[in-house]
Structure 1
C-alpha cells in the first residue's frame, strides 16, 4: 500500500516538491493530509489536494502568491487558502485545534501547534494520515493514529471516542455511510453503536449538507451498502424515511416480495447497467452531465417503489396489490426531494421516472401499436435511456423463465423504438402545423382556442404518425367544425 501511495504521489511530485521547497524556505513544514493521503494509499489520488501546515494563513497566502497562478482566500476565516499550481487545485489549512459548542457543526476556529493535534480532530483514522513533504522528494508518512491499519482492514473508526466525534459534528455519521458506499469499508462496531444511539443528532445538520452527502453516497461504487447502514443505524428515518418504510411486515399467508431488498437490488442492477448511458465515445458528454444522468437514474431506481407501503391492499383471495403505487410514489419522491432542497430539474426528472416505471408492463410482446410506442417515447423524453434501464433493472425475480421473458420484451420494445426512430423524429413529435398556420387557416386571433387546436393536432400526430401538410389541414378543419364554440 505504501508503494501504491508513492507511485500515486510521484505523478504530482513537480507540484509537491515545489510547494515543500517554498514552505521550507520560509521555515515551515507542509503535509499532504486527509482524503488526499487516503486516496493515494488506495491508488486513487485525485487532482484536488489538501494540505496542512504550521504556517498561519497570511504566510500561506504570501507563499502561494509566489508559486501559484491563481490564489483565492474564500476560506481564510477557517484558516484555508487555495491556489492553482500547474493546473492543479490545492487547499492549504493551518493546523487546527477546533472547539465545538455542541449545537452547531461549525467549530470555533482555533489554530493548533502540532500535526498530531490537527489529525486527532479529523473524522476517521483513515483520513488522519499525513505525508510530510520534502523539497527533495523524500516524503515521509506520518500516522500517529494507526489509520493505515484501518485502510488495510477496510474499517472506518474514529480517532477519539465516536460519541465525542459525532457530537462535535453529526454529519460525520452520514459521512461514514458515504465512505461505506465509496470505499466498500465497514464501520467499527463501536462506531455503528454510537451512530445508532445518536441518529437523531443528524437533525442538527442543514438539509443542504445532508443532500450533498446523500448525492455523494449515491454516486459511490456500492450505494446500497451505505444506504443499508443508514437504515440499520436509524439515520435514514431522519433524512430519508421513505427508505426504511419499505421494510413491510411479511405475512406467511399473504407473502409478497421484500420491497426494501428489492429496491436495493434494483439500485444495484442499474449501477451495473448504467455504462450504457455513456453512448457513443466519439460523442461523449462531459463528466458532470453524465454524473447527473447517473444520479437521476440511481435515485429513481431507489425510489421507484416507495409508494407501495401506502398502496398495499389485500384481495379476498389473499393476493397483495399495490394499485397506482407509481403515482403515489412519484408524489412522495417529489415531496422528499423538495424537502432536501434538490434542484427543481433533478426533482422533476427523478419523479417522472418513478411515475413512468410501470408503463412498460402494459406492453406485452409486440402488443403496443406504433401510436402507443410514440406516446411512451414522448412522455419519457430525454429520460428514455434511464427509463429503459430501470425497466430492465426492475426484474429481480429468481424465476429464470420469467426473467428471460421480461428481458426479451425489453429487447423487443427497444427494437420497436429504433425502428420508429428510423422512420420519424420521435425526439421532437410536433404537429405538422404551428400556431401561426392554425390561426391563418381557422381565422383565429391568439387565444386559448389556438392552444386547443395545437393540442388536438399533437394527439393526432401521436396516433397516426407523420402526415402530409394537406392531410393535417383537412383534419384541423374537420375538428373545428365539431367544436361547440
Structure 2
C-alpha cells in the first residue's frame, strides 16, 4: 500500500476530478466544523487518512479514516463554534458502504469499513468507561475489530491536530477492554458447579456452597491440573469438614490473583 495515499486524493481534488470519483468527499472542501476542530471537514479527513498510512494501519482503518466524517456536510446544523453533526456516524456508515460498492471493493472490506465508521464516536472518558459499557462496545463492533477501532480514533485525533495520539483516557479504555476480554477468574472456570456441590454433600443452597467453590478455585489457580471432576468431587467432601472461617481464609488466594492480573494489565497500559 502507498505510504502517502492522501497525495492521490489531493491530486484528484486539484485536477477537479474528485467530484466525479468521490463526490461525497469533495462536499467537505471548505466546510468548517466547530470548536473541537481547527480544520475543515475535508482537511481533517485527508490528515486522518495521512496519519493512518504513516502508522501503517491496515486498508480498512485507512479507508475508515478517510470516510469517518463523510456525512458531516449533510448533517451540519448551525455555523461557528457550536455547530453540530448529529448522527453523522450512522449516515456516514451508509455513505461509506455506497462509495466502496461503487468503487468495486470486496464485500468484506465494505462491511468492516462501514462498521468502523458507524462506531467511531464511542465515548472514552475515564468516568464513562465502565466494564458494562465496554462489553456493550465489544458486542457492537466485534472483539476482532476493537483494535482497528482504537487505531481509527488515533488517526482521527492526529488528524484533528491534537498533540497526544493516545491520551490517558484512551489508554484507560484499552486497559478496561483487555480486562473484560480476558477469561474471568471465577468459579465458572471449574469443571464443577454449585448444583453438583449440593448434590454431593446433600445440602440445600447456602453460603457454604460458594465458600467451597471459591476454595476449589484457589487450588486450581495454583495447580490447573487439579481441575477435573474426579479430583474436585473428592476435594468437596474434604472441604466440607472445614468451618466457614477456614474456607474464607483459603479464598484469599482468589482475590490476590485477581488483583495481580489487574495490576499487570494496568502497568501494560500505563494507567492507575
- Short-chain TM bin: 0.5 to 0.7
Contact 1:273/1:389 (8 A) holds in 2:
no
Partner of 1:320, secondary structure, is coil
1:347 aligns with 2:124: no
- For 1:328, the equivalent position in structure 2 comes to 91
Distance 1:420 1:387 in 2: 17
After superposition, what is the alpha-carbon deviation per residue over 1:401-427, rounded to whole angstroms, capped at 9, x for unaligned? Answer: xx47x62111111111111222349xx
- For 2:206, the equivalent position in structure 1 comes to none
- C-alpha displacement at 1:366, in angstroms? 4.2
Give the number of aligned pairs. Answer: 182
Q: Pick from 282, 305, 311: which aligns with 2:75?
A: 311
- For 1:386, the equivalent position in structure 2 comes to 148
Query: Larger relative CO (CA 8 A, sep 6+): 1 or 2?
Result: 2
Contact 2:31/2:42 (8 A) holds in 1:
no
Partner of 1:313, secondary structure, is coil
Alignment of 1:56-75 (within 5 A): none
1:420 aligns with 2:177: no
After superposition, what is the alpha-carbon deviation per residue over 1:220-255, rounded to whole angstroms, capped at 9, x for unaligned? Answer: 1100111100111122211111221111345999x8
Distance 1:270 1:229 in 2: 19
- C-alpha displacement at 1:325, in angstroms? 0.6
- For 1:268, the equivalent position in structure 2 comes to 50
Q: Pick from 231, 244, 269: which aligns with 2:26?
A: 244
Q: TM-score, normalised by structure 1?
A: 0.35
Structure (1 or 2) with the larger CA radius of gyration: 1
Q: Pick from 1, 9, 17: which aligns with 1:235?
A: 17
- For 1:376, the equivalent position in structure 2 comes to 137
Gaps of 5+ in 1: 1-218, 276-293, 426-485
- For 1:358, the equivalent position in structure 2 comes to 121
After superposition, what is the alpha-carbon deviation per residue over 1:67-125, rounded to whole angstroms, capped at 9, x for unaligned? Answer: xxxxxxxxxxxxxxxxxxxxxxxxxxxxxxxxxxxxxxxxxxxxxxxxxxxxxxxxxxx
- For 1:188, the equivalent position in structure 2 comes to none
Contact 2:52/2:152 (8 A) holds in 1:
yes
Contact 2:92/2:117 (8 A) holds in 1:
yes
Partner of 1:423, secondary structure, is coil
Distance 2:59 2:34 in 1: 36
Distance 1:251 1:331 in 2: 21
- C-alpha displacement at 1:386, in angstroms? 1.1
Q: TM-score, normalised by structure 2?
A: 0.60
- C-alpha displacement at 1:399, in angstroms? 5.3
After superposition, what is the alpha-carbon deviation per residue over 1:298-345, rounded to whole angstroms, capped at 9, x for unaligned? Answer: 111100000100001117x86211111101111111111122232221
- The 1:379/1:252 distance shift into structure 2, 3 A limit, reads closer
Contact 1:224/1:267 (8 A) holds in 2:
yes
Partner of 2:126, secondary structure, is coil
Distance 1:380 1:299 in 2: 17
Contact 1:248/1:309 (8 A) holds in 2:
no
Q: Which has the higher strand share?
A: 1
Distance 1:337 1:398 in 2: 27
- The 1:328/1:256 distance shift into structure 2, 3 A limit, reads farther
Gaps of 5+ in 2: 186-272
- The 1:320/1:251 distance shift into structure 2, 3 A limit, reads closer
Alignment of 1:134-283 (within 5 A): 219-250=1-32, 257-274=39-56
- The 1:325/1:380 distance shift into structure 2, 3 A limit, reads same
